[in-house]
């Protein structure tokens, strides 16, 4: 499920529960049914407006993220157009170096005895290397996931509606 739709579902489901709660409070606060109904209607309008604003913000965040990813890939396309061999292959060299560094660091845990007081720091470094180096490099070259493809389809649909 695309992120904006997921967030919209969360907020819309929560808003119906919120509207019910407000309705119960309104029933206790107001003496006439007309006043309570008017209050419920105004509260429902405000909650729906808030849900729409949150959905718009979620869409904007997703658009900015995908634009950033597209810019990185466009940079690589431009680098491939150059005559300099090193510039063409720099991203590949850098990715290979980072992957080998990460794998080497991970293998050190099997063969090197580290002091126990450094355990937390070593685990944090391993986490950063594994997530940023391995996962991000693989997602740069091969795409991140099916969810990302779903998000892209949803964004293209939203862009075409404008």
DSSP string, 139-154: HHHH-S-HHHHHHHHH
* Nearest Cα to Cα of residue 95 among 137, 48, 53, 130: 137
pLDDT for 1 beyond 50: no
Distance CA(98)–CA(137), nearest Å, equals 9
Buried b (16+ CB within 10 A) or exposed e, 91-118: beeebeebeeebeeeeeeeeeeeeeeee
Say what the pLDDT of residue 97 is: 92
**Out of 30-39, 66-75, 131-140, least confident range:** 66-75
Query: 62-91, pLDDT tens digit by residue?
Result: 888 777 767 777 777 777 788 888 888 888
* Nearest Cα to Cα of residue 23 among 46, 45, 47, 39: 39
Cα first-last separation, the chain: 22
Per-residue confidence band for 117, with pLDDT thresholds at 50, 70 and 90: very high
């Amino acid at each position: 499920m695309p992120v904006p739709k997921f967030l919209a579902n969360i907020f819309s489901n929560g808003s119906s529960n919120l509207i019910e709660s407000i309705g119960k409070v309104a029933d206790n606060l107001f003496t006439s049914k007309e006043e309570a109904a008017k209050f419920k209607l105004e509260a429902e309008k405000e909650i729906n407006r808030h849900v729409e604003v949150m959905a718009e913000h979620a869409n904007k965040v997703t658009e900015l993220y995908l634009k950033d990813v597209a810019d990185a890939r466009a940079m690589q396309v431009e680098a491939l157009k150059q005559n300099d061999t090193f510039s063409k292959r720099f991203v590949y060299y850098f990715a290979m170096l980072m992957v080998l560094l990460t794998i080497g660091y991970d293998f050190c845990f099997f063969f090197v005895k580290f002091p126990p007081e450094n355990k937390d720091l070593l685990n944090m470094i391993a986490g950063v290397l594994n997530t940023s180096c391995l996962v991000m490099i693989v997602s740069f070259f091969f795409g991140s996931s099916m969810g990302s493809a779903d998000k892209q389809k949803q964004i293209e649909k939203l862009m075409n509606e404008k």
